[in-house]
Amino acid sequence: MTLSHPKGAFDSSRAVWRSAPGESHGSRVEVAFVDDLIGLRNGADPHSPVLVFTQDEWDAFVAGAKDGEFDV
């Protein structure tokens, strides 16, 4: 499946999904890097929608997470 993004297309058939180590059951987030785009999905449901980010968007997300921007 190819997903559209304003900066290009994310070809999920070429994605190698990776997740953080942990329990193999329950929900987990998986990430895949394909060309210049990054895909993010629910690893517990491989057919779930994929969020697609550019490298700049991904870098901003990671920086925000490190700074506690998303802490509850």
Dihedral (Cα; 21, 24, 30, 35), 10-degree rounding:
80
How confident is the model over 37-61, as pLDDT tens digits? Answer: 999 998 888 888 889 999 999 999 9
Band (1; pLDDT cuts 50, 70, 90)? low
In this prediction the pTM is 0.74
Residue 72 falls inside a structural domain: no
Average of per-residue pLDDT values in the chain: 85
Residue 18 falls inside a structural domain: yes
DSSP state for residue 50 in the 8-state scheme: -
Helix (H, G, I), strand (E, B) or coil at 38: strand
User: In this prediction, what percent of the chain has a pLDDT beyond 90?
Assistant: 42
Residue 55 falls inside a structural domain: yes
Residue 71 falls inside a structural domain: no
Q: Which domain holds residue 44?
A: 2-66
Band (2; pLDDT cuts 50, 70, 90)? low
Specify the number of domains making up the chain. Answer: 1
Query: Mean per-residue pLDDT for 11-36?
Result: 82
Residue 34 falls inside a structural domain: yes
